Structure 1
């Protein structure tokens, strides 16, 4: 009689937990799933907390409702699987702004992550280069090619469109710069269209047409009660054994599978598993791969990350515009790169006493020295800069919170997808029961991480002999 499978999931973020749920759903009955989380808390960058008696997210605040092809996102599918679909809520205010030339201007519509499909619509924010986006009789990108987002957009639309639109949009998501981020990774739909279309306007319009959004359909969602509920439900439904404060320090292949060295150096625990799914950031993954697959480890370990800090202020009756928040181009010279008017954007969190939660994101790739400020200095700087951008003296906060996420956001250089594909192909050939998942490989955001974890789980199931009937 065949013994039950033993699968180790290293990493208790949403990618690892989504993988555990998929394993429970698709692996044979009796499969033993163990999630090893180095810290004392599950969820990774999902962390629901409270400030001044109000619920607030100290990490990711929402998920996309649709996937790039126009269907429901992997996060929505997981929410439904976990029985939480009835608790999805959407922003009450969707309009955001850009902080440009010392004031706020609405983010133009009709763009794709800031790249315009109608140049006339962005004229109030940025002046496109005249006649730059000419049809030169060939596609913008060769088949399979990749390029930095900034390089392509600067060549077709000029510097202002990049600096005032695309860069702050990408900075809000990746804390990175358009000139260093891969088009194929950060904007896959636009990259596909650019391999066919001869102009960038045409490519944007083609990408938008390939995944149309119904008028009025919500773009983002979150859960009433906070995204921490997603973490808790996934851990419960997976039926996995959850090991917190359990660092996996070494991974060794055995004849029948894998041996994990878990815990402190002086008192290690050795655990055997039939398969291992690594759902940790690239650098700890590289350390675990170093003795097993040194070539893959070198590639994975080369991925760089940006650190950020999220500063949340509880403000008594502030004079805030009717916006969800704003983005700040790096050219404005501010420490704040984005701000969310939390209790305005999420109306279900508003209270009649007028206390507002405002969250600001600080930290851009290559500018991590700004994160060396003390919490008090970060709070003071954010408060001052928000007052300057809004043109009003904001009241002093009655409470504040600083959440630092060191090395949180991967920076995908051009060619990232090819490098990841090569790593996975090498592992599949030499170690088919070892899989990688997470933002370091497949994109940031909850849907991308969920999909990455689920795909890795399917690879493990296939390698071990197929799913349950």
Structure 2
């Protein structure tokens, strides 16, 4: 293989940028890395903005501090690599609530993404089914089986636990419904335990015991100054060439690697590369894969992945009456437009304003309910303000500023069997074109740590395919 290598990364979100950093660290000296980002903005769903004179996240607001095995998460490792570890801050208020029968009730402790490990702790929110979680003398799941989260929990704990606890917890992360989301993808630790344990209570407790957390240990972190700092640092750390507003429209195999068609149809630019890493959502990835003759099947599989659209509405409210909570989650059964809300300046104490102005953010939009977003920004903000007042039981003051961030087709919906389908696609790529890799939330899961790990793993595969690190 020629030296220096030329590696093209398609997609300038945190997945692609993490891949560029890993290549800078592990590929031979002189490797030329170019990141192609279709939009003019790097970072994907990481975007720090400003409202009423203060910073606010218009996308993801935090990252998990630990990985499922209990070690440092890939996001924290990247932050450390970029020299930003000293700027990690944690929530000042950790208690969240659920909207139940129109009122706020504390989210019960001791659950795993809402699935209880102690049924007595959730009765204030949902009454579990009596004696349903019986030991039938065999593991809950067969070794290679996958089911929806809702199917497993309904069978074991009843509808109320799913509808009032698990569904809103998953909905806050994925904008999807528990009955349609893969257990193995969204809750891998529980899936592993369910292949050994005979009861769901036993599986939850085993999953929790596998990654114990010290009392008071923070679950989430963010960066002082906003997560866009992580994007900016990753974009410059590895010395990659960053091409903004550079759409990759076609991918063609060559005798020595790949040819990318970049830019407008009328004036395309042809770029040669030894390897390509696709760090884009499923649909644009499928379009690029479809242009490779022997990857039609892989392209079709990737293209079947669906996404939910959401909107984040942030209101700047002058001295509102807010409870001492980080925010709340809303079960779909409550019939509200809002599915989750964060009391931003309460949750993140470093953002508290001396003038008493509070930033409250609401997430709107569930999978299959995209019609609810087909209104103007003004109407959406007014609906959020009205529903917040209703849930809190007090009329909130009129906002002095507001921002509506729409994320169309942004949250992947992982149906049962998702991991097997992705594994089959990657096997097809490795067999036919080992210098072509796929990474990102659409394939490996949501959240900053997962995306960082996905990009780094794909970068390692590229390095191996090209002949190994220096």
Please give the per-residue CA displacement for 1:48-69, whole angstroms capped at 9, x wherever unaligned: 0000001000000000000000
Shift of 1:110: 0.2
Shift of 1:166: 0.3
Consecutive unaligned residues in structure 2, runs of 5 or more: none
In 1, distance between residues paired with 2:238 and 2:245?
19
The corresponding residue for 1:456 is 458
In 1, distance between residues paired with 2:44 and 2:73?
20
Of 294, 298, 304 in structure 1, the residue corresponding to residue 300 of structure 2 is 298
Shift of 1:261: 0.2
In 1, distance between residues paired with 2:238 and 2:414?
31
Please give the per-residue CA displacement for 1:159-201, whole angstroms capped at 9, x wherever unaligned: 0000000000000000000000000000000000000000000
Please give the per-residue CA displacement for 1:76-120, whole angstroms capped at 9, x wherever unaligned: 000000000000000000000001101000000000000000000
Shift of 1:352: 1.2
Shift of 1:41: 0.4
The corresponding residue for 1:19 is 19
In 1, distance between residues paired with 2:403 and 2:317?
12
In 1, distance between residues paired with 2:169 and 2:332?
11
Shift of 1:2: 4.4
Q: Over the residues paired in the alignment, what is the CA RMSD in angstroms?
A: 0.7
Shift of 1:413: 0.2
Please give the per-residue CA displacement for 1:336-382, whole angstroms capped at 9, x wherever unaligned: 00000000000000011100000000000000001101100000000
In 2, distance between residues paired with 1:258 and 1:213?
46
> What TM-score comes out, normalization by structure 2 length?
0.99
In 2, distance between residues paired with 1:238 and 1:381?
44
Shift of 1:288: 0.1
The corresponding residue for 1:169 is 169
In 2, distance between residues paired with 1:129 and 1:304?
32
Please give the per-residue CA displacement for 1:279-310, whole angstroms capped at 9, x wherever unaligned: 000000000000216x1000000000000000
In 2, distance between residues paired with 1:99 and 1:390?
10
In 2, distance between residues paired with 1:154 and 1:358?
33
In 2, distance between residues paired with 1:354 and 1:2?
61
Q: Does 2:98 align with 1:98? A: yes
**Counterpart secondary structure, 1:447:** helix
Q: Does 2:319 align with 1:317? A: yes
Shift of 1:238: 1.6
In 1, distance between residues paired with 2:236 and 2:62?
21
The corresponding residue for 2:439 is 437
In 2, distance between residues paired with 1:304 and 1:410?
6
**Counterpart secondary structure, 1:179:** helix
**Counterpart secondary structure, 2:249:** strand
In 1, distance between residues paired with 2:28 and 2:150?
47
> What TM-score comes out, normalization by structure 1 length?
0.99
In 1, distance between residues paired with 2:347 and 2:179?
30
Of 385, 388, 392 in structure 1, the residue corresponding to residue 387 of structure 2 is 385
In 2, distance between residues paired with 1:182 and 1:440?
13
Q: Which moved more, 1:2-11 or 1:83-92?
A: 2-11
Please give the per-residue CA displacement for 1:202-240, whole angstroms capped at 9, x wherever unaligned: 000000000101111000000000000000000010210
Q: Does 2:248 align with 1:248? A: yes
In 2, distance between residues paired with 1:161 and 1:238?
47
Please give the per-residue CA displacement for 1:386-418, whole angstroms capped at 9, x wherever unaligned: 000000000000000000000000000000000
Consecutive unaligned residues in structure 1, runs of 5 or more: none
In 1, distance between residues paired with 2:250 and 2:100?
49
In 1, distance between residues paired with 2:167 and 2:446?
16
In 2, distance between residues paired with 1:218 and 1:438?
26
Shift of 1:8: 0.1
In 2, distance between residues paired with 1:287 and 1:97?
42
**Counterpart secondary structure, 1:16:** helix
**Counterpart secondary structure, 2:285:** helix
In 2, distance between residues paired with 1:198 and 1:266?
62
In 2, distance between residues paired with 1:254 and 1:278?
17
In 2, distance between residues paired with 1:292 and 1:230?
34
Segments of 4+ in structure 1 off by > 4 A?
A: none
In 2, distance between residues paired with 1:74 and 1:296?
28
In 2, distance between residues paired with 1:145 and 1:326?
33
In 2, distance between residues paired with 1:131 and 1:141?
19
Q: Does 2:342 align with 1:340? A: yes
In 1, distance between residues paired with 2:54 and 2:385?
19
Shift of 1:3: 2.5
**Counterpart secondary structure, 2:342:** strand
Please give the per-residue CA displacement for 1:237-257, whole angstroms capped at 9, x wherever unaligned: 021000000000000000000
**Counterpart secondary structure, 1:143:** coil
In 2, distance between residues paired with 1:422 and 1:458?
19
In 2, distance between residues paired with 1:3 and 1:78?
27
In 2, distance between residues paired with 1:372 and 1:150?
28
